[in-house]
A = this chain, B = another copy of it.
Amino acid sequence: MALIVQKFGGTSVGSVERIEAVAEHVIKTQQQGHQVVVVLSAMSGETNRLISLAQQIDARPSSRELDVLITTGEQVSIALLAMAIIKRGHSAVSLLADQVGIKTDNMFSKARITEIDTTRLKQELEHNRITIIAGFQGRDEEGNITTLGRGGTDTSAVEIAGALQADECQIYTDVDGVYTTDPRIEPNARRLSHITFPEMLELASVGAKVLQIRSVEAAGRYNVPLRVLSSFSPDNGTLISYEEGKMKNTKVVSGVASVKDEALILVNNVDAKPSNLANVLSLLGEHNIEVDMINHLNHSEKKIDYAFTVHTNDCILAEEVLAQHAQNLGGATVEVNANVAKISVVGIGMKSHSGAAGLFFMALAEENIHTLLVSTSEIKISALVEEKYLELAVRALHAKFGLESTE
């Protein structure tokens, strides 16, 4: 008997019919001899409906009250699923954050879970009840309702799985697993049966949108195996764990990912003082602009060029801030290019395979794709390219690293 946490997202509970299907699925899991805890999102569309009600009253509503409002969405889902399970003659109980004891800090709309008291949860499981928990929500120390931000239900599921030391946390979604790359770009993309936490974290950070980074981090921290499955045609999906050994025919690279939402900022002809880069980055930090890739090139002893990327939403602000500061940098010029894409390959096998970087640039060179910026980690290589090459670069890398072959 295993203890399994199953999380179903908005489309998985998007209608009464879908909720009935989830009920059948959950009951089947229990009948296979497992203890089941279910964590649900709001029915798809419901959170947006509620937010729109709020915005009819105030374009920027009180964040405390917005959390009170939108947490009703999950409350509706859990009650309906419990009814559907009870109708089928099985024992079920829906529980809210305060009933499960999900404590958070008091950052409304983006709270972090600080503690989960599993007393009641364990009682319900001992009574062999299917326990259904409202995702996305918590309570702060004063008992106020909080929410965990976008993707919060994944976080709830993983944190609950961690607190219960569950055997597996299953994330049911509208895709059936993690792929070697986006199948809309490369039709030969292959679903991975297994991937490690560090790889999944890197992939999530460079554009694989299956899971929120926070929930992958949390699952890794608690060492709870995470599985991504389709709620529409559940099979084994993709398992995310620390166990590299289980992977057959380990590849150097597990996946190729891409993001379009970064912009390249060039600050040219800066006086070559070591403090200048620090000043530039601090300045952006003061304006809450996050910098991702960073590079610089001395083209004389006196002058230096900086290149870095920011989120495209921030690039106009970044340009303004830097242009105002240009005089202090010795008359530097600022240039922004939003038509760029970041392409990355991720693989735990790169640790022990020195040829990966060579293959990476070879693949791009063969297609005459210039790289504008490069960054590497132990298990990842990323390059910034012109946006028009995004799909071509992804397909070239996918082929070069042999990802399309059957596992």
Interface residue ranges, A against B (CB under 8 Å): 16, 19-20, 50, 53-54, 56-58, 61-62, 64-66, 68-69, 71-72, 75-76, 78-80, 82-84, 86-87, 93-94, 96, 98-99, 120, 143-145
* 5 nearest CB pairs, A to B: A69-B79, A72-B72, A68-B79, A58-B87, A65-B82
Q: Nearest chain-B residue to A123 (Cβ)?
A: B142
Say whether A66 contacts B79, CB under 8 Å.
Answer: yes
In the assembled complex, the Cα of A145 lies from the Cα of B75 at a distance in Å of: 11
Number of identical protomers: 2
Partner of A65, one of B53, B79, B96: B79
Chain B residues closer than 8 Å to A143, beta-carbon distance: 98-99, 120
In the assembled complex, the Cα of A160 lies from the Cα of B75 at a distance in Å of: 25
Instruction: Report the minimum CB–CB distance from A65 to chain B (whole Å).
Output: 4
Say whether A66 contacts B83, CB under 8 Å.
Answer: yes
Say whether B99 contacts A86, CB under 8 Å.
Answer: no
Say whether B94 contacts A57, CB under 8 Å.
Answer: no
Say whether B83 contacts A62, CB under 8 Å.
Answer: yes
- Knowing A65-B94, A69-B80 touch, does A58 contact B75 (C-beta < 8 A)? no
Q: Nearest chain-B residue to A71 (Cβ)?
A: B75
Instruction: Report the minimum CB–CB distance from A133 to chain B (whole Å).
Output: 12
Instruction: Report the minimum CB–CB distance from A76 to chain B (whole Å).
Output: 5
Q: Nearest chain-B residue to A62 (Cβ)?
A: B86
Say whether B83 contacts A58, CB under 8 Å.
Answer: yes
In the assembled complex, the Cα of A149 lies from the Cα of B66 at a distance in Å of: 27
Chain B residues closer than 8 Å to A54, beta-carbon distance: 79-80, 83
Chain B residues closer than 8 Å to A145, beta-carbon distance: 96
Chain B residues closer than 8 Å to A20, beta-carbon distance: 57
Chain B residues closer than 8 Å to A94, beta-carbon distance: 65, 68
Partner of A76, one of B72, B84, B87: B72
Say whether A93 contacts B64, CB under 8 Å.
Answer: yes
Which of A19, A50, A64 has most chain B Cβ within 10 Å?
A: A64
In the assembled complex, the Cα of A143 lies from the Cα of B79 at a distance in Å of: 15
Which of A50, A80, A93, A99 has most chain B Cβ within 10 Å?
A: A80
Say whether A56 contacts B99, CB under 8 Å.
Answer: no
Chain B residues closer than 8 Å to A96, beta-carbon distance: 68, 145
- Knowing A99-B143, A143-B98, A143-B99 touch, does A68 contact B75 (C-beta < 8 A)? yes
| Extra pairs beyond A57-B83, A75-B75, A99-B144 (16, CB < 8 Å) | A16-B57, A19-B57, A50-B76, A53-B80, A54-B80, A57-B84, A61-B83, A62-B83, A65-B86, A68-B75, A69-B75, A69-B80, A69-B83, A72-B76, A96-B145, A98-B98
In the assembled complex, the Cα of A120 lies from the Cα of B144 at a distance in Å of: 12
Instruction: Report the minimum CB–CB distance from A312 to chain B (whole Å).
Output: 31
Q: Nearest chain-B residue to A132 (Cβ)?
A: B65
Say whether A82 contacts B68, CB under 8 Å.
Answer: yes
In the assembled complex, the Cα of A87 lies from the Cα of B56 at a distance in Å of: 12
In the assembled complex, the Cα of A83 lies from the Cα of B99 at a distance in Å of: 26
